[in-house]
Amino acid sequence: MKTYNYQYTTGPLQTIIDFAHFKDEKNILIQIFCGQNKEVLRYVVETIRGYLPQAICIGTTTDGEICDATVSTLKTIITLSTFEHTLIKTAFQQNKDSFQCGVDLASALVTSNTKLLILFSDGTHMNAEEFLKGIESFNAKIPICGGMAGDNGQFIQTYISSQDVLLSEGAVGISLNSDVLKVATDYKFDWKAIGLEHVIDNVVGNRIYTIDGMNPSVFYEKYLGSNVSQTEFPLIIEKNGVAMARAVIAKHEDGSLSCGGNLANGDKFKIGFGDAKSLLKDPFQALTNLHQVKAETFFIYSCMARRRYMPDYINLGLDAFSNQATTAGFFTYSEFFHHNGHNELLNQTLTVVALDESTQNITYDTPSLSTPSIEEASYAKTIQSLSTLIQQSSRDYEEQSKRLEKQMNYSKNLLLSHRQFLRYTVHEMNTPLSVIMSNIELHEMNFSKSVYLENIEVAVKSIFSIYDDLSYLVKKDQIHYLKRKIDLVDYVRSRIDFFAQVADKAKSKFIFESNCDKFYIFFNETKLQRIIDNNLTNAIKYTYEKENIQVSLHHKDDDCDFCIASHSRKIQKPEKIFEEYYREEQSQNGFGLGLNLVKRICKEEKVKIILHSDEDLTSFTYQFKVDKR
């Protein structure tokens, strides 16, 4: 096996390639890596086919080209490989169903002695993960390589070719069929997951519609800015304990993003960041699988993000391959790889294939290559330091997050325990309170009133009011409180009667007046009781001794104002009076929950609150709407 590389930009192709040198070769594989345009790819294909009609020729547009130790853009690399003991087949498919496209292409290429499939798909339409599953379903043992076509980062239109056929959608491939050909494949992934963990809320196949409740484009702009290339910062997910990248390969008008690989609703990921130190290491030293053969040719299919992430240093390390054998390839929109019986779609990855057609069993001893220029480059050191800083900051943040999560879980469990205790306590309070009240009434019926029992009754009614507040707070998120038609005039009178004895013990008295005999509202009785009872008990608590408490209902148009006015100290901070746990007078008993509860109910039921307080009078007014049904 021999491989020859040619770089083309303009002019007649025959001035670059001596086609006569290959006219007698029978098994020729030609790969065209075109970084220019559709017309150049078509010209190169037609010229090669004219001079070498026996050659098997496939091509793809790129996001960069590899020719031995050199990386180029906007050029075309023609890689011509001749084989002695290997037959080559080619085929193409345009099935709209990506999975079936893979099945059909594999069935056209695979033979009993197929050693390798080289596959190129279009880079903007194909669901490459489904395509590879289709290949795998036909034969799960044959190694694969190749990738998705590029268009220099435009993500508009890519092209692939098989023989004379040029395609904008679909897939092309070749099979190498031999009894002696040895194939070794390996890959290198140098991206690290950093920052917060995020959740994909809505995705269909490889197209993401929402991330953390956000439009995907808005998400990337939030975390990376508006000018960043999403391709260089992929989504890192874990599947079966293996970190995998999903690069963004297309942005749609609605802000959704297409990735180089499928995702699922609920998938968790972190944003990926290139590990500069790992990227700059000699790749050949790391790819140990390649050392199993004495390579005659290396084919490299690498992610576009690797070239764009460190453009000045991407060619470093290629000489480790080209010093051993002719090396060629291109930068893809996603890479194809075979591992443990499965075809994998990779992003941000360097994939390499080593081919050896020699009949001798020779293994390769890994050379000890020194690359001081990589380690000494100041720019490289800066990137390494930045990478280390980000990774360490991410690890610190994760540790803090774990500690915080542990504390939150403890607090959550403690709160749940407190709530459970409160539910149990509230439930158990009702029975003894009811027993006390009923026995007081029975005692008064048989033995007349007693000042001691009156004091007990007043205290029990105060406890009943607190009990009702607690009961509502405990149950409000679990029970749907139904509304009914209520006569507000009659209901206010009944609650005044209930607390009249409490007011009398506090040396106050309720004075009730209304400008209407009846006023109907559509309201839930439990919520209404919380509004009225809390205002009545607060008035009793804060009114000066021997001062009356004015309770009024005034009907006007479609509204009815329920007002409680009392002579008490001026409220110093009216803006805080409805806040949870706030009490204007610390000497008074209570937790400051009542008015906060009232405010929440009024907000839910659209009841307007008007507060007035001066040196002479404090009043709370609640505007209820009439029930017109």
Q: What is the pLDDT of residue 587?
A: 46
Contact 338, 280 (CB under 8 A): no
Q: What is the pLDDT of residue 196?
A: 79
The pair of three-digit structure tokens given for residue 290, joined into one six-digit string: 């390649």
Alpha-carbon span 166 to 34, nearest angstrom:
13
Alpha-carbon span 428 to 426, nearest angstrom:
5
pTM summary value: 0.64
Alpha-carbon span 356 to 183, nearest angstrom:
7
Alpha-carbon span 19 to 514, nearest angstrom:
109
Q: What is the pLDDT of residue 127?
A: 92
Spell out the long-range contacts of 48-54 with Cβ–Cβ below 8 A and sequence spacing 24 or more.
Answer: 48/13, 48/17, 48/78, 49/163, 49/164, 51/14, 51/17, 51/19, 51/23, 52/19, 52/22, 52/23, 52/25, 52/28, 54/25, 54/26, 54/28
The residues, ordered by sequence, that sit 6+ positions from 553 with a Cβ below 8 Å of its Cβ are 488, 489, 492, 513, 514, 515, 516, 519, 560, 561, 562, 563
pLDDT tens-digit series, residues 427-484: 566 667 677 777 777 777 777 777 777 677 667 776 766 666 666 666 666 667 789 9
Q: What is the pLDDT of residue 629?
A: 67
For 244, the enclosing helix (H) or strand (E) is: strand 242-246
- Give the closest residue to 58 by CA, choosing from 83, 87, 89: 89
Q: What is the pLDDT of residue 186?
A: 95
Counting as low any pLDDT under 50, the low residues of the chain are 366-376, 587, 589-591
Contact 20, 58 (CB under 8 A): no
Percent helix, strand, coil in the chain (nearest 5)? 35, 30, 30
Q: What is the pLDDT of residue 172?
A: 98
